[in-house]
Structure 1
């Protein structure tokens, strides 16, 4: 995020403002206020209404200002986390999207801009308006770009836009329609690849879209798409070896292997060996591509650690849970492992800096409310990270000197953080040298372990999102016989 802010700041501050008066000297011009900087400051101060007015004024007076598109995106992105007051965020986002659609109709080359605005505007419309409005806007945008003219103007912009629309449909519960949008996108890309095989970035865009589509497809269709994507990546690497095809092959296999490594680590391991062998063959047969292929093979080898962890996690299922290792407890009294016999236990390994962890909080609250009286005990597991509580922003932040944060400071921060997010379950803080996370096979968070009434591990689930939540809830209900 800091990198993004730095990039935005450098982009905006570096924008060149062209004034119509030829009599203005360079010195006088440098003294003039930078409108882009002024708008950016309004956004940073969360003065969204004033920022909106300023952006509209810039559109009317300086429509070709280089920083204008960046300002719009930053304004939309800030709305989602800024609790906007005195402004109808959904209506403003809808108006901005409609204006961008109109501009794209007049100039199809602006499809990339339309994709960027839609990517941020649709979530704002859904969050502050309704999912129905977001779907309506998504379909209106889709109807506009579903033409050969738009498709050929910008393959990546077109694909990004359709992916955004599919995401909006899925978030509103229209899963089948979202999957249909992704399949249609792949079909169009495949057709265009046959008609214009030399189009730059088209093969890699197609492969990337195939990989992304896996999260939209039902389980019954996922394996076929995986096989299709790997076949295309392999064919491109063999028939058209180049730096681009090597990158596309590596990204495709890397994403697919990572996606299946948790559930089927044995299969992932075999695919990894195959992918590395293919890259090594390219390195051996073409000296000009040796460095690129070797670097890519080395990159793929990093997945081995995840596969090893997944194998360890798989071996844990049905076995006695490793020992707990609490140093301190927050948001509740201490509880021992023996006291939990007869209960279904959900261990949630998390951290205050982990966005995906925070995204799971609504489910954790829901499960506590629905199942705690039926035999479920939820326990958070975290440790010291050198964070303190910022009273002004009401957020946890990393201390300038993390080593100066005492355990008491960290516990006080956790207490306020947990209360702010209205979590009801207790959390244990493990010692810095604790092996508990390693013993539970934690390689990334959020990481959930569900233990049965006999203290045996019955589920390991990593990550956030609807599919992850559905698997955890299904296992809870199964163990509670609900």
Structure 2
């Protein structure tokens, strides 16, 4: 999860035309205007008010209200009920939200995204209430909920994720591959608004499906480029740059030698100039943000300046084992530093792979060490998950504060995820010393304490590259 993600999101909102901006507000139906007012009140409403709102949303006549907006309202009501600890009511509301009819055309993407958020929250509710076995059957109730490409791609992405989270890794891979094969190759009929959900699905393909992933990303990038050069839409610029970045990243992670980064950057600047010609002032700002972010990401692909240098000396707090540990104990061993965060989904998804790596090579002299930061979390014993103790607290206050509650939260979190390799926490300055720009970041250190490789991400390709490097260093 890169720190540029926020930049990309802001930029994407500039160049994406959502339903509100694409329609004249005066042309909205009275029902849609009423829903807009409701959206503004949901977060301040109590249980009774939310139940009344839910009934109103459910009874709105089809054809007189924007369906994407309707699903958003229903989903937000469920989210607010969850905040109020009305979990059963929230679950019922999420089910109502995902049963609502979908929109077509340009609104289909937003509709599918909002549906996905509601369904995801319902899945988390089932997991947290000990009903994980119901997640996939519940999702499958909505397999034929919509025939739009946006929905199919979004649904497939959600389902493969939950197959993975519930422990069916092989099932997740097979379902993902099958879904991509059904949606590709793209045709001239592929709509611009379908490219984002298609990209979000394809990017999850693993190392064993690298050829399918590469050809699919190439097709998405080509469709995006065509839409921009023809002046049809500026929205795909973010998809185009994401495809180029991911293709480059995968090539490096898959072990290709002498990867030419300029090859993947070629044409991006020229395409941005074409986009600028068609852009409004607001869109131009978004395109510039995307371009700057892309350039930084590609720069980060270059070999780390840390390679060949000794591990920086930084202050650490050992979290596990509780009695503390020492890097001195690791002299003569190969060490993998796994930089992660408690809020980072890809980081958590890589835990089993890191644990497997540790178990596989432990006797040969490997030590995996998890490295996290202070983020101001504590453990919610009722919901059994970490929560931010103060949403508005400054990072400087977190760094200098008492970390006892967060140490406890991290230990509980690691226990939940069955992680038993050493863990430590560092401050933001330490992150900078290690050159950490995104999470997860993996740094491989040889037996002499010299950094030999820096990897990012949690993909199969990344972990395959990591395994190869560890094996080589252990055999030196």
User: Which protein is richer in helix relative to its size?
Assistant: 1
Equivalent of 2:263, from 251, 270, 295?
Answer: 270
Matched, 1:230 2:221: yes
Distance of aligned partners of 1:94 and 1:374 in 2 relative to their CA distance in 1, 3 Å threshold: farther
Q: Secondary structure at the match of 2:189?
A: helix
Q: Which runs of 5+ in 2 are unaligned?
A: 1-8, 10-31, 253-258
Contact 2:54 2:77 survives alignment (8 Å):
no
Q: Once the 2 structures are TM-superposed, how far is the Cα of residue 414 of structure 1 from its aligned partner?
A: 3.6
- 1:277-292 aligned at under 5 Å gives the runs 277-280=270-273, 289=279
Q: Does 1:181 align with 2:182?
A: no
Displacement of 1:131 after TM fit? 7.5
2:46 to 41, 44, 47: 41
Q: Give the TM-score normalised by the residue count of structure 2.
A: 0.64
Q: CA RMSD of the aligned region, Å? A: 5.2
Aligned length: 415
Aligned CA distance change for structure 1 residues 84 and 458 (closer, same or farther; 3 Å): farther
| Cα distance, 1:312–1:322 mapped onto 2, change above 3 Å | farther
SS of aligned partner of 1:142? coil
Q: State the shift of 1:443 in Å.
A: 1.0
Q: Matched residue of 1:312: which SS? A: coil
- Residue in 1 aligned with 2:449? 455
- Write the mapping of 1:79-478 to structure 2, written as runs, cut at 5 A: 92=92, 96=96, 99-100=99-100, 116-117=114-115, 120-121=118-119, 124-125=122-123, 127-128=126-127, 134-136=135-137, 138=139, 141-143=142-144, 145-146=146-147, 151=148, 156-157=150-151, 160-161=154-155, 163-165=157-159, 167=161, 172=168, 173-187=171-185, 190=187, 192-193=189-190, 202-206=191-195, 209-210=198-199, 212-216=201-205, 218-238=209-229, 240-241=230-231, 244=233, 246-248=234-236, 250-264=237-251, 266-280=259-273, 289=279, 296=287, 299-313=290-304, 319-331=308-320, 332=322, 337-352=327-342, 354=344, 356-358=346-348, 360-361=350-351, 375-382=365-372, 387=376, 389=378, 395-398=387-390, 400=393, 403-404=396-397, 407=400, 409-421=401-413, 422=415, 424-430=420-426, 433-434=429-430, 437-464=431-458, 468=462, 472=466
- Paired residues of 1:348 and 1:447 also in contact (CA < 8 A): yes
Q: Which runs of 5+ in 1 are unaligned?
A: 4-13, 18-33, 43-49, 194-201
Larger radius of gyration: 1
Corresponding residue SS for 1:145? coil
CA distance in 1, matches of 2:302, 2:43: 54
**TM-score of the two chains, using structure 1 as the length reference:** 0.64
Counterpart for residue 47 of structure 1: none
Paired residue for 1:73? 75
Q: Give the 3 Å change call, closer, same or farther, for CA 473–40 of structure 1 in structure 2.
A: farther
Question: Which gives a bigger RCO, structure 1 or 2 (Cα 8 Å, sep 6+)?
Answer: 2
CA distance in 1, matches of 2:133, 2:156: 17
